[in-house]
Amino acid sequence: MTDKIALHYIDEALLVAEKPAGVLSVPGRLPENQDCVVSRLQRDYPDALTVHRLDQVTSGLMLYARGKVMQIALSKQFEQRQVSKRYEALVQGLVEGESGEIDLPLICDWPNRPKQMVSFELGKPSLTRWRVLARDVAAQTTRVELEPVTGRSHQLRLHLASIGHPIAGDVMYDAQPASRVCLHARRLGFVHPLSGVPLEFVSECPF
């Protein structure tokens, strides 16, 4: 039996789950890519529906709706940028400065998909805020907190690579190989669609 997905929270409206690194958020096209977080959740909670996605390589907090009405309500919060998301990453090199923004337009690199690329002509506006948490001079790595203001595919991964600090293990974006891509969805905040109460969840970083 495939491993169960750990839950941080559950009620009649939604689930907050812990996505393991290496597991798809949603099913892929091929038969061998049907195992994913939502299909595992649906074994116990058949009404669980996807609201947002994380890359297969990323671990951390994911929000799932219970039923179509809740899916629409929660999706609207993402679309209107009312959801607070914070990621933790370990990147190669020693990042200069303590905080900043990366504002580079992104588009799919079609011949090399799912890879994305920066394109000032065709890319969609993409903004990431970053803040240094710690530096390891001996290992030549920096631990950063990331806030994706927009939610483009591979945004955090490509933005960091584009400033010369690819996420550790992210060979797709020219990092050195590692046991995993060191990107974790650490904090997730949103408003409960039924009660209107703000909720925030934190997942400890596993690397």
Alpha-carbon span 90 to 182, nearest angstrom: 5
Residue 161's SS3 state is helix
Contact status, residue 176 vs residue 165, Cβ threshold 8 Å: no
**CB neighbours of 69 closer than 8 A, spacing ≥ 6?**
none
Alpha-carbon span 137 to 131, nearest angstrom: 17
Contact status, residue 98 vs residue 108, Cβ threshold 8 Å: no
Annotated catalytic residue: which of 44, 47, 55, 109? 55
The shares of helix, strand and coil residues in the chain, as percent rounded to the nearest 5, are 20, 40, 45
Alpha-carbon span 115 to 173, nearest angstrom: 8
Residues forming a β-bridge with 15: 10, 64
Rg (CA), the chain: 17
Indicate if the alpha-carbon torsion angle 201, 128, 72, 20 is positive or negative: negative
Active site residue 103: no
**Which residues does the annotation mark as catalytic?**
55
